[in-house]
A and B are shown apart, each in its own frame.
Chain A
Amino acid sequence: EAQVTQNPRYLITVTGKKLTVTCSQNMNHEYMSWYRQDPGLGLRQIYYSMNVEVTDKGDVPEGYKVSRKEKRNFPLILESPSPNQTSLYFCASSLWGEDTQYFGPGTRLTVL
C-alpha cells in the first residue's frame, strides 16, 4: 500500500530535550516536506527536500533541522525544543512535476 508514515504519532517532551520525528514514504517520491499546523494558521511549510542530500527552508524553519540521506526518509529534528513548537506536524511527499501530495497521519507534539 502506497503511504507516508510518521513516528511517533504523539509525543510529550520537555524544553531542551532533543527529539526526532521520522517520516518515510514507499512511493519513490522525489519531493518531501514538513508542515506544522496551528489553529487559525492552517499548515505552514517548515522544510522541504527535492531529492537525496537536497534540502531547503520553507516558511517557518527556525528551531528545526532536517536531513535526506535516503530517498524514502526525511526526519525532522528539534535540537532544543521550546513550548512554541507545540503543534501538529505533517510530513508530505510528491513526485517531481506532480501536484498531488500525499500526507502522513500527523504527529502531535507537546513541549512542556
Chain B
Amino acid sequence: AQTVTQSQPEMSVQEAETVTLSCTYDTSENNYYLFWYKQPPSRQMILVIRQEAYKQQNATENRFSVNFQKAAKSFSLKISDSQLGDTAMYFCAFLGFKAAGNKLTFGGGTRVLVKP
C-alpha cells in the first residue's frame, strides 16, 4: 500500500518570500502521478500542480513549482513570492496507475500562513 508523509504540520512565511513544503511517499510502482492540492478556508480542494512520474522535468505553474526526486521518493512544493491568498492547507497526494477506483492517497497536510 502506498503512503504519503508530510512532515511539517504548519509553516509560516512573510509575504513576497518563498516557502518550501516537503512530501515523501512510499510505493513499489514505477508509474504514477503526484499532486499538490490547496484547501483554503472555504474548504474547496483546488489542484495546484501535478507531476507525472515518468517525466523527469519538474512541473511549474506560475509561482508554484515542484522538486521531484523519484529515486528518493520526494515531491516538495515551492511557493515563490508568497501572497496572502496562499494561506491555506496544502495536501500532497499520490495516484498509482494501478489504483483501484482511481484512489488518491493523501498526506496529512501542511498548514501555511502567509504573514503581511
- Listed in ascending order, the chain A residues whose CB lies under 8 Å from chain B are 31, 33, 35, 40-45, 48-50, 56, 58-59, 88, 90, 92, 94, 99-101, 103, 105-106, 108
- Listed in ascending order, the chain B residues whose CB lies under 8 Å from chain A are 4, 6, 9, 33, 42-45, 47, 50, 91, 93, 95, 100-104, 106-109
Chain B residues, Cβ within 8 Å of A90: 45
Task: Given the known inter-chain contacts A88-B43, A106-B44, please indicate yes or no for A99 contacting B95, CB distance below 8 A.
Answer: yes
Q: Is the CB of B47 within 8 A of A43?
A: no
In the complex, residue of chain B having the shortest beta-carbon distance to the beta carbon of A95: B102
> Which 3 pairs across A and B sit closest by C-beta, in order of nearness?
A48-B101, A42-B106, A103-B45
**A43-B91, A92-B104, A106-B43 provided; 20 other pairs, C-beta below 8 A?**
A35-B104, A40-B109, A42-B6, A42-B91, A42-B108, A45-B103, A48-B102, A50-B101, A56-B101, A88-B43, A90-B45, A94-B102, A99-B33, A100-B47, A100-B50, A101-B102, A103-B45, A105-B44, A106-B44, A106-B45
